[in-house]
Chains A and B, each alone.
Chain A
Amino acid sequence: MASLLEPGVALRPDPMVPRLVTLERTRAETADTFTMELVAPDGVTEFPFLPGQFNMVGALGVGEVPISVSGDPQTPRTIVHTTREVGAVTNALKQLRPGAALTLRGPYGTAWPVEACSGHDVVLIAGGIGLAPLRPVIYEVMRQRARFGRFLVLYGTRSPEDILFAKELSRWRSQFDMELLVTVDRGTEHWRGNVGVVTKLVARAPFEPRETVAMVCGPEVMMRFAVAELRARGVAEPNIHVSLERNMKCGVGLCGHCQLRGEFICRSGPVYSYDRVAPLFEVREL
């Protein structure tokens, strides 16, 4: 019997090999955060995704990092990523000019449970850049607003200048029935809103705990406190969803980097219902 792989016989496609996409435009959101709109080189290929999923986005010669899709699931021809510049790869992405080629693999990972929210109050709790992975949920809820109960977005960021998607948020708030509570770590003289951590907003937010599905995205400490507040209000653990973050080198369950005990966060996450990961949340340096 001849080997199945004599020279010249094609291997199965390698999930580590990216496709090329073209940067259509970059928009500065805040001092360190920018939104990229990417399209296929042919301009027509669509990139369907579910809210909460991420892509491995790469700058040629620099590297590839996981970034959640922040765009509208209904416009899959454009891939939208909102990124905070923190290091080598995100810096290189920020420098790219329109027309530049990027690498892309994905979409990967689990989704926020938008469908399961039907008939329920929906509470989104975001810290900093954590609002970006939740924006596709906002688009989905807005599109079918009548299907849901109360809709709240609790958002905490460093300062008033760091508020992401500010125009869009205020438009949604005025046009649709969306309750938006924003808080900042540090106010400015013109700031009349809340000052303090976002988790403090939970206690007085108007939602019916037993009827609520909550989605939390932000730094791990913030998520820990947010979950505690939600539980204190009586939201059941299976109705609380969090998006976990770990180093990721492959996004497809092969490199081992994203492991959290038995979970490969790139495969069984990043979005988890809290009851599944609760025991892992409590161990230091896991």
Chain B
Amino acid sequence: MVISDSRPERSAVLDARDLGSLLEALQLRGYGPVGPTIVGDAVVLRPIAGVDELPSGVGDAQEPGSYRLAPRDDGRFFGHNLGPSSAKRFLFPPVRSLWTAIRIGPQVRIEANDDPPPKIALIGLRACDLAAIAIQDRVFGREPYVDPHYQAARENALLIAVNCSQAAATCFCASMGTGPRVGGGFDLCLTELLDAGGHRFLVEAGSEKGDQVLADLPTTVATERDRRAARAESDRAQAQIQRRLDTDGLKDVLYRNAEHPYWNTVGERCLACGNCTLVCPTCFCATVEDASDLTGDRTERTRIWDSCFNLEFSYIHGGSVRTSTAARYRQWITHKLGAWIEQFGTSGCVGCGRCIAWCPVGIDITEEAGRLRSEDRAPQPVGR
């Protein structure tokens, strides 16, 4: 995995009643807090003004094709698992203006959209979310053509992680080596503790910026007991993980079975709706759209999330390359679990389980990969 294992420099304990001081400290430093909050029937990441907007006392139950909020009686702020949105929405927004061409008489001018993205603090990111960000850092940072909008958004975002204290039935971060315990790549990391010692957070700083915010908080010294309690939270989450994905040699299994009849069976179930790519925190495909005003004097090009499940995605003159749904599902899972390794030196999947819960027909990436492996055709001799 791409997480660095630099150890947090400083840690302290924050009483749960003082969680508001974290938001205030962030706001004072110019960071707009973005955190989990309930919208409709799901926990999503949104700009929040205060701790009362956090989903306190709310958990969830997730299964393939199903996500339900469920009350919990312990008043935890972070007693939920992942909702459909991820940091991707903020670092790589679904719609972004790239440039505008302005025509004045015979003259045309192009104005790049170089508005810096807002300074935000992303609160409540889980270990797998941090791993997904590290993956997108690679995707958008390949020289010589880097995405400056992504880099600026990254630069302007403070990452405030939360250690999971429970796992959803859809989680499989352990198989992907990304969680459940946060390893690194954060500015601050919170572990919500709820035991005889009270409702409190172990707060660890993982960067200089995080250190400065931590110094602003009304904390007490973290004891060995707090640290042990924090490990116990992660151990509980770890013990609850039921889903597994065997990644051993998976790229080659996917590659050598590209023409396996199995693909038709998943092609028959998949609706090609693209939900999986939208909720996935690493999927990065985008298209562009041009729009002109009525006079035709202003033309704007906008970048918009796209999905390899769209028929037009692979369109070239004469017809799309991937016409069947089977070919599109094969493209998605083969890219995620195979080609990504070739391209970026890491799997494209962090095991967050979002695509499993949000697939309307409950297609499960771990099950599909497992099924293909079980029907694996004998390895071909190298070199055809």
Residues 315-340 of B at the A interface (beta carbon under 8 Å):
315-317, 321-324, 327, 331, 334-335, 338-339
Q: A256 near B285 (CB under 8 angstroms)? A: yes
With A11-B116, A264-B343 given, is the CB distance from A3 to B156 under 8 Å?
Answer: yes
Does B323 lie within 8 Å of A256, measured CB to CB? no
**Interface assignment of A278: CB less than 8 Å from any CB of chain B:** yes
Point out the residues of chain B lying under 8 angstroms from A256, CB to CB: 284-286, 306, 308
Are B316 and A247 closer than 8 Å at their CB atoms?
Answer: yes
Q: Which of B99, B284, B290 has the most chain A CB atoms closer than 10 A to its own CB?
A: B290
A16 within 8 A of B: yes
Bound complex: CA of A255 vs CA of B142, how far in Å? Answer: 13
Q: CB distance B112 to A17 under 8 Å?
A: yes
> Does A196 sit at the interface, judged by CB under 8 A?
no
> How far apart are B349's CB and chain A's nearest CB, in angstroms?
16
Q: Does B1 contact A (CB under 8 A)?
A: no
Q: Is the CB of A4 within 8 A of B155?
A: yes
Closest to A4 in B: B155
Does B273 interact with chain A (Cβ within 8 Å)? no
Q: Contact partner of B290 among A61, A261, A283, CB < 8 A?
A: A61
Residue pair A246, B108 in contact (C-beta under 8 Å): no
- For the complex, is B287 an interface residue (Cβ under 8 Å from A)? yes
A-chain residues with CB within 8 Å of residue B139 when the two chains form the complex? 254
Contact pick for A11, options B149, B321, B338, CB 8 Å = B149
Q: Judge if A14 is at the interface, Cβ distance under 8 Å.
A: yes
Q: Which residue of B lies closest to A268 (CB)?
A: B343
With beta carbons under 8 angstroms apart, the residue of B106, B151, B258, B299 that contacts A283 is B258
Mark A250-261 against chain B: 1 for CB-CB distance below 8 A, else 0: 101111110101
| Residues from chain A with Cβ under 8 Å of B321 in the complex | 246-247, 285-286
On chain A, the number of residues with a Cβ less than 8 Å from chain B's Cβ atoms is 49
Question: Does A62 lie at the interface of the complex (its beta carbon under 8 Å from any beta carbon of B)?
Answer: yes
Are A257 and B339 in touch, CB under 8 angstroms?
no
Shortest beta-carbon distance from A32 to chain B in Å = 12
Chain A residue numbers with a CB within 8 Å of B290 are 60-63
Task: Verify A86–B317 contact, CB threshold 8 A.
Answer: yes
CB distance from B18 to the nearest CB of A (A): 25
A-contacting residues, B252-270, CB 8 Å: 255, 258-259
B98 beta carbon closer than 8 Å to chain A? yes
The residues of B that contact A10 with a CB separation of less than 8 Å are 114
Measured CB to CB, the nearest residue on chain B to A14 is B148
Interface string of A124-158 (1 = CB under 8 A from B): 00000000000000000000000000000000000
Closest residue of chain B to A252, judged by CB? B145
Cβ 8 A contact of A253, one of B101, B145, B212, B331: B145
Q: What B residues does A63 contact at CB under 8 A? A: 288, 290
- Assembled-state Cα–Cα distance A173/B258 (Å): 45
**Contact partners of B116 in chain A: CB under 8 A:** 5-7, 9, 11
Q: Chain A contact residues: over half helix, strand or loop, or mixed?
A: loop
Given contacts A5-B152, A16-B303, A286-B321, contact A262 B316 (CB under 8 A): no
B147, B209, B316, B339: the one within 8 Å of A259 (CB): B339
Residues of B within 8 A of A277 (CB): none
Say if the beta carbon of A121 comes within 8 Å of chain B: no
Set of chain A residues within 8 Å of B255, measured between Cβ atoms: 261, 279
In this assembly, does B119 line the interface, its C-beta being within 8 Å of a C-beta of chain A? yes
Q: In the complex, A261 Cα to B308 Cα: how many Å?
A: 12
Contact A18 B292, CB 8 Å, known A13-B148, A252-B145, A255-B287: no
Question: A1–B334 Cα gap in the complex (Å)?
Answer: 42
A39 close to B (CB within 8 Å): no
B149 touches A262 (CB 8 A): no
Q: B314, A278: Cβ atoms under 8 Å?
A: no
C-alpha gap A86/B317 in the complex (Å): 7
The A1-60 residues at the B interface (CB cut-off 8 A) are 1, 3-7, 9-20, 60
Give the docked Cα–Cα distance between A264 and B285 (Å): 12
Given contacts A254-B145, A256-B285, A257-B285, contact A246 B314 (CB under 8 A): yes
Check B110 for interface membership: any CB of A closer than 8 A: yes
Residues of A within 8 A of B209 (CB): 1
A190: CB under 8 A from chain B? no
If A1-B208, A286-B258 touch, whether A255 touches B343 (CB-CB below 8 Å) is no
CB distance from B342 to the nearest CB of A (A): 3
Q: Which residues of B contact A285 (CB under 8 A)?
A: 321-324, 327
- Known A-B contacts A3-B119, A246-B321; A61 and B142 likewise in contact (beta carbons under 8 Å): no
Contact B285 A11 (CB under 8 A): no
**In whole angstroms, what is the CA distance A284 to B112 when docked?**
40
> A162: CB under 8 A from chain B?
no
Rounded to whole angstroms, the CA-CA distance of A259 and B338 in the bound complex is 13
Determine the chain A residues whose CB is within 8 A of the CB of B288 once the complex forms: 16, 63-64, 249-250, 255
Interchain CB contact under 8 A, A3 and B155: yes
B window 293-308: CB within 8 A of A: 296, 299, 301, 303, 306, 308
Q: A159 contacts the other chain (Cβ, under 8 Å)?
A: no
Residue of A whose beta carbon sits closest to that of B300? A61
A211 contacts B by Cβ under 8 Å: no
Which residue of chain B has the shortest Cβ distance to A11 in the bound complex? B148
A58 to chain B, nearest CB (A): 8
Q: Chain A contacts of B284 at CB under 8 A?
A: 254, 256
A positions within 8 Å CB-CB of B: 1, 3-7, 9-20, 60-64, 86-87, 99, 101, 103, 245-247, 249-250, 252-257, 259, 261-262, 264, 278-279, 283-286
CB-defined A-B contacts under 8 Å, sample of 9: A11-B114, A12-B146, A14-B114, A15-B146, A61-B299, A256-B308, A261-B334, A261-B339, A285-B324
Given A61-B292, A103-B101, output 14 extra A-B contacts at Cβ < 8 Å: A3-B156, A5-B155, A14-B98, A14-B147, A20-B110, A60-B292, A62-B290, A103-B110, A249-B306, A256-B285, A262-B338, A279-B255, A283-B258, A285-B321
Nearest 5 interchain pairs by C-beta = A262-B342, A256-B285, A285-B327, A252-B145, A61-B292
